[in-house]
Amino acid sequence: MNNKEGNNKRGGSRPNSSRSNSNKPKPAMQKRAQGPKKVKPAVKAAEEEAAQKLKKQNQAPKRQKAADEIRLNKYISNSGVCSRRDADIYIQSGNVKVNGVPVTEMGYLVKLNDVVNFDGVTLTPEKKEYILLNKPKNFTTALDEGQEYRNVLELVRGSTTAKIAPIGRMDKNTTGLLLFTNDTDMIRKFTLPSQKSSKIYQVSLDKNLKYEDLEKISKGLVLDGHRVFVEEVSYIDNEPKSEIGLKLRSSNVKVVRAVFEHFDYDVLRIDRVSFAGLTKKNLPRGNWRFLTDQEIINLKNV
């Protein structure tokens, strides 16, 4: 009896035991996180070669640039519509045509006589130049006054190879700021009667300006059927009352002279001291300088 019970104890199950049954299946182990599969050298080389071929599809074939050729993005930049970097974007997007054919190749070369159409507008390749001159006496903007007086273009000769022209006219006795450019849009903008930029003139008269005449000028007047709007007129501090400051929008010096002649004053001298925000600071009489990028932006935004 005892032996049987002993056998039952050794061979029987132990329901209260904390030890797990060795026959119970163990849970599956989680797989370790795996990194990206290594690309075989041959496959990687093939991928790089394919990428290079795709990149070269938008590149012009390598060839020697001729003397009369220029890169398309530089051609566009020289026309003044945008920078070379932005020009590349327009080229890639298909918005540029050369001789009527869309061009999307980077580094494409064009000749100066090619017709380049940028987003529907035909461009000119000449770089836009803007030169400010402090004009002295005895130089004129006219080309038909004979040989007695020299032309203002002589004063800026050598500054650029572009075909620049002065904005507005100045006679031989008028001095001060005169802007030159080959930007026909800007020339047209500042010579229109409706243009909004201010100019300041210092005017020397043959006699003192009467206060009542100064008041009449400040209210504006009609000359030859056209209304002249005077922004400001005043005596100049510490100067005789024959020295007058006049601020108005016209770039036509003849208008300045006519304002005072309307009240029976003879104009001895006119000096333009400010043109659309540009001044004579650090620009001696007879000297010129290129405008800064910010000054050009300011003029375009007037």
Q: Which residues form the catalytic set?
A: 171
With CA atoms as reference, report the closest residue to 151 among 164, 278, 161, 162. Answer: 164
| Pairing assessment for the beta strands 101-102 and 221-223 based on DSSP bridges | unpaired
Asked whether 166 and 141 are in contact (CB, 8 A), the reply is yes
- 131, two tokens: 């030169």
The C-alpha atoms of residue 235 and residue 142 are separated, in whole angstroms, by: 31
Q: How far, rounded to the nearest angstrom, does the alpha carbon of residue 284 sit from its chain's CA centroid?
A: 27
Q: Is 217 helix (H, G, I), strand (E, B) or coil?
A: helix
Cβ within 8 Å of residue 113, ≥6 positions away: 68
State the DSSP string of 233-284: EEEPTTS-TTEEEEEES---HHHHHHHHHTTT--EEEEEEEEETTEE-TT--
| Number of CB atoms found within 10 A of residue 72's CB | 26
Partner residues linked to 199 by β-bridges: 248, 275
Phi, psi at 102, each rounded to 5°: -60, 140
